[in-house]
Amino acid sequence: MKLILILLLTAGLSISVSSGKEPSPADRKATKETVNLFRSLYKLQQKGIMYGHQDDLMYGSTWWHEKDRSDTKDFTGDYPAVAGFELGHLELGDERSLDSVSFDQIAEQIKAHYSRGGVITISWHANNPLTMQDPGSKLRRMGGTAWDVSSKEAVASILPGGKNHEMFNAWLDRLATFFRELKDDTGRPVPFIFRPFHEHSGSFFWWGTDICTDKQYSDLWRYTVQYLRHKKQLHNILYAYNTDKVTSLEQYMRGYPGDDMIDMLSIDMYDRGEKFGGELENALAFVTREAIGRNKLAALSETGERWGMKDWWSSVLLPVVSKYPVSYVLTWRHTYRSRFRGSDSQANKPFPDDFMNFYNSPGTFFLKEIQGENLYKRR
């Protein structure tokens, strides 16, 4: 197994549990498998980092929903340890996501990856609850999607007392129905990491830092978790707090809903230039330190390589993330491009050659490595 102990002294980090108690999910009624997953990831992130890929099991650059297929598996011979899925448009009652993926097929692949011993993370680009209902709006260029930031009242409209509050409850009911049906062959709920209302530090979603107040964002988080946890009695969810690129802990914690709501502190950062390595190192230093201090998991929940850089995986990403207790790093989806089907062009290649250097590193974990960890302790 590709395991090494990552030395954290240079980062000034301690891997000890601050309270002296074994870390546990925020939900005191979390299922046994969910508790086991949380504790397994907490220990594993001190040894190395899992690789995750968004929509990896649903489609690739040249294929669409082929049983047991994966771009990562095609390239490396192994599945990613973490599989990401997207539920945008589930709240509308649609059969397919905003990426045109069948929700039935998403549920099928979540169960399949869980049965392999893999980890599941779910994002939710929910439509703007205010502008999507206003066909007369002059600022509907984004059509009322998650990216429509034309109104600063969207979050307020779905909180208790808001005009769209009951509609939001209906959205959460649809999520709960989908989540409740995620069960293994024995009927036990499948644990997963849920990362809604992500990248709050940016202002490109209707829940962004300049689009709503920090209190509104915190209230939105608390209402959502309490609704799913208490009203819907869903106890198989680990909740991931998330921001876009930030430069300080103070900026990162704006709108934080509280330790009783959150299980993971995560951050999204894409490489947009030569300063990326230093910016990522700065952010991971305070995010992981804060996570450990609160007995939470940590993750680089979205990232992506610099355009045209051939050795990014081994020379930029790996040297930084290997210094910190980060449970996983997830890269975004490979957009399906049917015109390349059967082509030998570079566009048909899902990953650069340098990705194999990342894969072969003793500090990175793919599915085969974590299968030996038995994260859910199911036997």
pLDDT at 132: 85
pLDDT at 338: 66
Q: What are phi and psi of 264, to 5 degrees?
A: -140, 135
The answer to whether the beta carbons of residues 208 and 200 sit under 8 Å apart is: yes
pLDDT at 143: 66
- Return the amino acid letter for 278: G
Residue range 9-371, CATH number: 3.20.20.80
3-state secondary structure the chain: CCCCCCCCHHHCCCCCCCCCCCCCCCCCCCCHHHHHHHHHHHHHCCCCEEEEEECCCCECCCCECCCCCCHHHHHHCCCCCEEEEECCCHHHCCCECCCCCEHHHHHHHHHHHHHHCCEEEEEECCCCCCHHHCCCCCCCCCCCCCCCCCCCCHHHHHCCCCCCHHHHHHHHHHHHHHHHCCECCCCCECCEEEEECCCCCCCCCCCCCCCCCHHHHHHHHHHHHHHHHHHCCCCCEEEEEEECCCCCHHHHCCCCCCCCCCCEEEEECCCCCCCHHHHHHHHHHHHHHHHHHCCCEEEEEEECCCCCCCCHHHHHHHHHHCCCCCCEEEECCCCCCHHHCCCCCHHHCCCCCCHHHHHHCCCEECHHHHHCCCCCCCC
Quote the CA–CA distance of 268 and 252 in Å, as a whole number.
11
Q: What are phi and psi of 304, to 5 degrees?
A: -165, 150
Residue pLDDT tens, the chain, 379 long:
443 333 333 343 433 334 457 899 999 999 999 999 999 999 999 999 999 999 999 999 899 999 999 999 999 999 999 999 999 999 999 999 999 999 999 999 999 999 999 999 999 999 999 998 654 444 444 469 999 999 999 999 999 999 999 999 999 999 999 999 999 999 999 999 999 999 999 999 999 999 999 999 999 999 999 999 999 999 999 999 999 999 999 999 999 999 999 999 999 999 999 999 999 999 999 999 999 999 999 999 999 999 989 999 999 999 999 999 999 999 999 998 764 444 444 456 799 999 999 999 999 999 999 999 999 998 6
Say if pTM beats, i.e. exceeds, 0.75: yes
- The sign one gets for the Cα dihedral 65, 99, 88, 78 is positive
**Per-residue pLDDT tens for 223-259?**
999 999 999 999 999 999 999 999 999 999 999 999 9
Quote the CA–CA distance of 27 and 20 in Å, as a whole number.
19
**Per-residue pLDDT tens for 98-129?**
999 999 999 999 999 999 999 999 999 999 99
**Per-residue pLDDT tens for 2-18?**
433 333 333 434 333 34
Boundaries of every domain in the chain: 9-371
How many Cα atoms occupy the beta-carbon half-sphere of 360 within 13 Å? 7
